[in-house]
Amino acid sequence: MDMDSYIPVPLFGKDHWSTLAYAEIVMVECGGFQIGFDVRMRQCRRNYRVMREMCRRPKRVKQGPDMGCMWEPKYSTALADKQTVDGHDDWHCIQDMAEAGFFTAGGQIVGAEACEPGVILHLSPAGRAVVEQIRAHKAAGGTFGNFHETLKLETAGV
């Protein structure tokens, strides 16, 4: 699998699930999740430049020379089957989740093509159902790394 392929939900690993949990927190606290320069999201230099150009005043910007550093393979996305997708970052994870139907924008369920800087995402009913499962899993002592073992896709409508 390469970084430009959409990862199917059954292969989502800890990086996808932790990114979804983070995006949900931002959605609750900020009234939506806007893809923009966010220091907590792992992103490569290409995405940094695009985000900086398209989203000039994003929230939580930290200025400094360490931002936008070269992508290191060790930060690539880990999948449930223990594979790593080189160059796949948090923006890719968001696109994978959008392609799976986890997000809306403007009240409509959106795909990966809508995941651009400036677009404000919210959870779709399927996204909310998955986040509820994540919270229950974590509350029971589970980890993002083993969430795929308890995920019930049919319950989420995925």
- pLDDT, one tens digit per residue, over 112-157 is 888 887 788 999 999 999 999 999 999 999 999 999 999 998 766 6
Residue type, 19: T
Residue 141, in any domain of the structure: yes
φ and ψ at residue 69, rounded to 5 degrees: -70, 165
Residue 1, in any domain of the structure: no
Residue 17, in any domain of the structure: yes
Counting every residue, how long is the chain? Answer: 158
Buried b (16+ CB within 10 A) or exposed e, 118-145: ebbbbbbebbbbbbebbeebeeeebebe
* pLDDT of residue 28 exceeding 50: yes
Residue 2, in any domain of the structure: no
Residue 3, in any domain of the structure: no
- The whole-number average pLDDT for the span 45-69 is 48
Query: Which structural domain, as residue segments, surrounds residue 110?
Result: 9-156
Residue 144, in any domain of the structure: yes
φ and ψ at residue 36, rounded to 5 degrees: -165, -170
* pLDDT of residue 23 exceeding 70: yes
Residue 14 burial (10 A CB sphere; 0-12, 13-18, 19+): middle
Query: Which region among 31-35, 42-46, 81-85 has the lowest average model confidence (pLDDT)?
Result: 42-46
pLDDT digits (tens, 9 = 90+) for 60-115: 434 444 444 445 667 788 899 999 988 788 888 999 999 999 999 999 999 988 88
In this prediction, residue 36 carries a pLDDT of 64
Query: Which region among 26-30, 48-52, 123-127 has the lowest average model confidence (pLDDT)?
Result: 48-52
Residue 31, in any domain of the structure: yes
- How far is the CA of 13 from the CAs of 23, 49, 85, 131, 143, in angstroms? 16, 27, 11, 14, 10
In sequence order, what are the beta bridge partners of 121? 33
Residue 55, in any domain of the structure: yes
* Structural domain count of the chain: 1
Structure tokens at 11: 């292969």
